[in-house]
A and B are shown apart, each in its own frame.
Chain A
Amino acid sequence: MPTEPVRPDAPELADAAAGWVGAYVHVPFCHRVCPYCDFAVVEGRDDLRGQYFDALVAEIAASEPFQRPLDAVFVGGGTPTSVPPESLAAVVTALADRFGLAVDAEVSIEANPEDLDSPTAAGLACGGFNRVSLGVQSFDPLVLEALGRRHTPVDADLAIGAASEWFPSVNVDLIFGTVGETAASWRSSVERALAAGIQHLSVYALTVERGTPLARAIREGATAPDPDDQADKYLVASRLAAEAGMVRYETSNYAAAGHACKYNLLTWALGEYAAFGNGAHRHRGGVRSWNVRRVDRYVERAPGAVSGEERLDEWRREVERVFVGLRRAAGVFPGEAGTALVASAAGQRLIDAGVLASAPHRVTIERPLLGDEVSRALLALDPPAPS
């Protein structure tokens, strides 16, 4: 069952998510790695797939359940749909066996348009998935090529159609600000996605991540994405999504009522989640920890594949709550860090510039395009003197 049909940006929903628990499963395999991607992914390596899924199931079986069944599951990658639906269904079964699934649990999977035909969608739906997120990125063939994507605009149309047949909640990911993408191209990509009858839209500015082929190309002289162009396109998407009845509930995410992504909401509320697979990050018992990044090492070491952790003290945890929570349109209740931010000189400048807003029981970001200004001001706050 999808979530209650509440507004995606409702503060009650944002805050309730802090009590949810979830699970993330990483599927690192890709037919081809996109030039802008810096995730823990691997091209080919068909030889490792069998062992990898065995390792996933073993890691799930070996992990500690939460006090309550899972509210949200997210299978991401990589390209989860590059493996057969049965393997993915087995993962959901393993999770359900070990953790339990709430009756209204969201079970989400990422898919590439070229992989998602109707039978595959059916297989996934039968395997327990009830939400799909399609990596469409653009409906402009030139942009798709620049992004190194393998599908065509028509593939994307067909995949959305197949997904809508089988899933109550369909998301489309779009990327804006690719060099060469015109304003008209971007507008038509957004319009075509919205017209396809989806329930959720994620629009991301193309980001040059360190160590990617894209970053290398730019270092060697290729044109970098223009932040002003990206600002224009962000605002266009925002307007078109609103006209289509969608609500922006996070910096880059829009949803129809009742279709906010539960898994995302819980991570932004600092809810707890388990995580499985190479490079996967979890947040349990106040500790963030992560698995080894390389697929072959993970396969060797699972179920004991943790490679690092971060323990936050109370203040830094509080700062993180506000830092992540402020990305949501619902904002955060001020608490210690939010109050300190608003009271700081930097916070006051952000309020004066209309970036930050402070109401008695809520702090929000009003100009999400300048959100990092707020984050830096927040991270620069001194911890309160011990009393």
Chain B
Amino acid sequence: MLTRPHRSTVSDTSRIRNFSIIAHIDHGKSTLADRLLERTGALDVREMREQVLDSMDLERERGITIKAQAVRLRYQSPGRGEYVLNLIDTPGHVDFTYEVSRSLAACEGAVLLVDAAQGVEAQTLANAYLAVEGGLEIIPVLNKLDLPAADPDRVAEEIASVLGIDPATVLRVSAKTGEGVDGLLEAIIDRLPPPQGVAGAPLQALVFDSYYDSYRGVVCYVRVFEGTVGTGDPLRFMVSKEDLPADEVGVLTPKALPGASLGPGEVGYLITGVKEIGRIRVGDTVTRRDRPASKALPGYREPKPMVFSGLFPTDGDEFERLREALERLRLNDAALVWEPESSRALGFGFRCGFLGLLHMEIVRERLEREYDLDLVATAPSVGFHVVLTDGREVEVRSPQDLPDPTSRTAIREPFFRVMIITPTEFTGAVMELLREHRGTMGSMQYLSTERVELIYRVPLAEIVFGFFDQLKSRTRGYASLDYEPDGYDASDLVRVDILLNGAPVDAFSAIVHRDKAYNYGKRLVERLRAIIPRQMFDIPIQAAVGSRVISRETVKAKRKDVIAKCYGGDITRKKKLLEKQKEGKKRMKMVGSVEVPPEAFIAVLQVDAD
């Protein structure tokens, strides 16, 4: 018989606790996680440092990237013996709410970590609500007690009032000094319920995260709810309907330890040999092919792109390379979708769909940096639902695809429920900002005498265009924001087209609210005039709604562009100067006969129609 090392199935689920830490950025999540790892002997500090430094070597040695997304901690309780604590990480950004919800679904409880000086932030609260909705037990914890500015009593009141709990139950720690961490470990055992589940039942395991490892292919993080999964088992992914073998099952301590099997309540990783991340869906349920569960775990959602932008190579010859790069990116980004798009102005490219603005920025940056592509990105647009005269409803992801006014009866746009927490002194400014962005008020709640939570319904299109920056600047950076999809509704929307030298440039078109069309067109035209350099002829720039021109500017023809002197001694130098200028020109995109710098396509983003 095989001897079972410590990583083997924990047969007694009452000895398991699964939890996440929910925290705003900079509120000390990773410091607390490090402290927990240290206290439970998972890694000492020196080892931790080495692990980071040597991660490249480790990758080669073990063939698996160390990514402490789900760490198994062995905790020796002074009074009650040994427990296994699974700490599950959650993505930190609003674009990934669904991923957060899946991570939380793998847990029975959550540590809500709040900076004792800063107080509750919108995103923390949004994730805390998500946890509460998911039936998780919450342990509220104040961090950074060591800070002179810490005001634990006030912040504890704030948390208590938001979550409707007794302020006395709020724990107080300093992740930095370690103060209170032992108490937190005991509270995790006391307050969080142990997982349920029967080892002999048909397997049900939740895929709550996944990533692409260049050596091993897709690595899934799984939480077993029922049954047992072991290396070599024939598996079925119930949503994607993929039948795959369990090549390797193991736990992370955070070192990857391949183990024999994971039983009910356990958390670990699963490698199937699949190379394309698109084939593994976060939220999917893994079962056994030979003894399948009757149904999948609830809560699966297709990743739904909310924001769309056209990506075009500056150099048309790079189209294939862009396609290859997107395909490679999709290996570890299942949420990225695209379809080929052709633009009269920009040639061939791809209409890409993103979870949100951050996701869009990440993808664009990776394409440019990792794949060395020069891209022109069109202004992001939301997906509209257009109701046609025949009653059909179609999704329009690009302004250029908007059906003619005569063949449509309504344009429905996506709305978001926006939650903002701000110091009360900025309440007026924030409400004004929301009003400018066509927001309608839902509710307003004072978290304390100093801070207020505002809930509004705002069209996504309004959030896409510069909302974050404005919120930051109008609240001097103090407000925090979270949002989630909240259905579609009809709005009075029109398409503003931009004509360059008399010809419409599809990449500059935008769908905006009728009341904002004039200002939007005027400002965009002004910006374009400032950005487009003078050329060999006058370039009229016009904004139009339908056939009606609403604004016009002209880039006057350049009159002088010649080196005055070029004699024998100068030729080499002048040539170098021109070579340099030529490089600058290469960035330009030819739109008809007009040279347009890539910044112009971003300008659409920066136009504030208000």
Contact = CB atoms under 8 A, between A and B. Distances in A.
**Do these two chains really belong together in a complex?**
yes
Contacts of B582: 376, 379-380
Interface residues of B, number: 26
Nearest to A207: B564
A226 B575 CA distance: 23
A169 interface: no
A342 interface: no
Interface of A: 24, 204-207, 227-228, 230-231, 234, 251-252, 264, 267-268, 273, 275, 279-283, 288, 290, 310, 320, 323-324, 327, 345, 349-350, 352-353, 355, 368-373, 375-376, 379-380
Given A281-B572, A372-B578, A379-B579, A207 B560 contact: no
A119 B563 CA distance: 36
B559 A372 contact: no
B306 to A, nearest CB: 39
Given A230-B560, A352-B593, 5 more contacts: A206-B564, A327-B566, A345-B590, A353-B537, A373-B536
23 contacts: A24-B569, A205-B562, A227-B561, A228-B559, A228-B560, A252-B565, A267-B571, A275-B569, A281-B568, A320-B571, A345-B590, A352-B593, A353-B536, A370-B558, A370-B561, A371-B562, A375-B563, A375-B578, A376-B581, A379-B578, A379-B579, A379-B582, A380-B585
Contacts of B536: 349-350, 353, 355, 370, 373
Nearest to A39: B569
B328 interface: no
A372 B585 contact: no
Contacts of A207: 563-565
Nearest to A270: B571
A273 B570 CA distance: 13
List the 10 shortest-distance A-B pairs measured between CB atoms, nearest first: A281-B569, A231-B559, A267-B568, A371-B562, A353-B536, A231-B560, A204-B564, A227-B560, A205-B564, A376-B582
A296 to B, nearest CB: 20
B572 A288 contact: yes
Contacts of B570: 281
B561 A372 contact: yes
A293 to B, nearest CB: 11
B472 interface: no
B586 interface: yes
Contacts of B586: 380
B568 A273 contact: yes
Nearest to A281: B569
A204 B536 CA distance: 21
Contacts of A320: 571, 575
A324 B566 contact: yes
B568 A369 contact: no
Q: Which of B561, B586, B590, B593 counts the most A-chain CB atoms under 10 A from its CB?
A: B561
A207 B578 CA distance: 15
Contacts of A380: 582, 585-586
Given A228-B560, A323-B575, A349-B593, A376 B568 contact: no
Contacts of A280: 569
Nearest to A261: B567
Contacts of A327: 566
Contacts of A206: 564
Contacts of B578: 323, 372, 375-376, 379
A375 B569 CA distance: 18
Interface in B538-595: 558-572, 575, 578-579, 581-582, 585-586, 590, 593
A203 B55 CA distance: 66
A234 B582 CA distance: 25
B582 to A, nearest CB: 5
Nearest to A376: B582
A12 to B, nearest CB: 22
Nearest to A352: B593
Nearest to B562: A371
B568 A283 contact: yes
